[in-house]
Amino acid sequence: MAEVIIVNNEEAAGRIYAQCVADLIHSKPDCVLGLATGSSPLAAYQALAHEVKNDHLDVSHVRGFALDEYAGLDPSHPQSYRSTITRTVVEPLGLTPDLVHVPNGALSTIREAGYEYDRMIKAAGGVDVQILGIGTDGHIGFNEPGSSLASGTRIKTLTQQTREDNARFFDNDIDQVPTHCITQGIGTIMKARHLVLLAFGSGKAEAIAETVEGGVSAFCPASALQLHPHATVIVDEKAASKLRNKDYYRYAYEHKPAWQGI
């Protein structure tokens, strides 16, 4: 089962992620980072950019693979995940742009793009640390409820709920939100060596309780994390509010030896 860390705010969560990744970059300068878009990882990327600057970390060899991309949205569109990853990760961290990959959402090649993306991840030696957000319906990447827990990267149909949640990035106009995407599968995500899932706010409380304490089920794709040997779930008090075993998670983290990291 995942380690659950309850923090006061997104900045505190971001610092934990940043420390973990900074340590990784020290020991493996060409490490492979799994990247997510959306609001949840933003403070973590900012904290990491801060570490990179303060510690004078050489990130020129760090490689990256994003989780997903909208289907049929031009990569130059400001809300494409290619643009978002460039703006929120590649530029602030100073990564080498050619080493950071985003699934190809072009409609003409989308049928083969998933296999090709999984092949590239494998050729890179696999993802070392995968950062994840979670949808209010329990999706990770864009694996909506019902997604096979063994799936590879492929095209998926977004749910109405996800399109409503993401309309805020498209002038609050759901009609501008694409209906399809290409996303790493749950099987792809589960191959990463360390998963770090971040969730904040009461809107995520139910999904987090299902993920951590519910049954493992395709109905809540994030519940697959229970089967991962190294998964860390970092949440604020609101996102933790529906967890039954909260006191134990707090106790375990408070008594964790510092050398253990996350």
| Token pair for 69 | 């991309």
Q: Which stretch binds ligand F6R (CB under 6 A): 105-113, 118-126, 129-137, 152-160?
A: 129-137
Which is closer to ligand F6R, CB of 67 or CB of 100? 67
Which is closer to ligand F6R, CB of 99 or CB of 138? 138
> Under 8 Å CB-to-CB from 122, ≥6 apart: which residues?
none
> Does residue 114 bind ligand F6R (CB under 6 A)?
no
| Interface size with ligand F6R, residues (CB under 6 A) | 14
Window 24 to 63, contacts with ligand F6R (CB under 6 A): 36-40
Q: Is position 30 annotated as part of the catalytic site?
A: no
Q: Is position 139 annotated as part of the catalytic site?
A: yes
Which is closer to ligand F6R, CB of 52 or CB of 207? 207
121 within 8 A of 113, measured Cβ to Cβ: no
Q: Is position 255 annotated as part of the catalytic site?
A: no
Q: Which of 67, 209, 239, 243 binds ligand F6R (CB under 6 A)?
A: 67
> Does residue 141 bind ligand F6R (CB under 6 A)?
yes
Which is closer to ligand F6R, CB of 89 or CB of 243? 89
Q: Which of 73, 140, 231, 240 binds ligand F6R (CB under 6 A)?
A: 140
Q: Which of 133, 138, 178, 221 binds ligand F6R (CB under 6 A)?
A: 133
Which of 51, 68, 128, 165 is the catalytic position? 68
Which is closer to ligand F6R, CB of 57 or CB of 104? 104
Which of 69, 128, 144, 236 is the catalytic position? 144
Q: Is position 144 annotated as part of the catalytic site?
A: yes
DSSP the chain: --EEEEESSHHHHHHHHHHHHHHHHHH-TT-EEEE--SSTTHHHHHHHHHHHHHTT---TT-EEEESEEETT--TTSTTSHHHHHIIIIIHHHT--GGGEE-----GGGHHHHHHHHHHHHHHTT--SEEEE---TTS-BTTB-TT--TT--SEEEEPPHHHHHHHGGGTTT-GGGS-SEEEE--HHHHHTSSEEEEEE-SGGGHHHHHHHHHS--BTTBGGGGGGG-SSEEEEEETTTTTT-TTHHHHHHHHHTS-GGG--
Nearest distance, CB of residue 67 and ligand F6R, angstroms: 4
Which of 51, 128, 137, 210 is the catalytic position? 137
> Does residue 9 bind ligand F6R (CB under 6 A)?
no
Q: Which residues bind to ligand F6R, rule: CB under 6 A?
A: 36-40, 67-68, 133-135, 139-142
Which residues have a catalytic role annotated? Answer: 68, 137, 139, 144
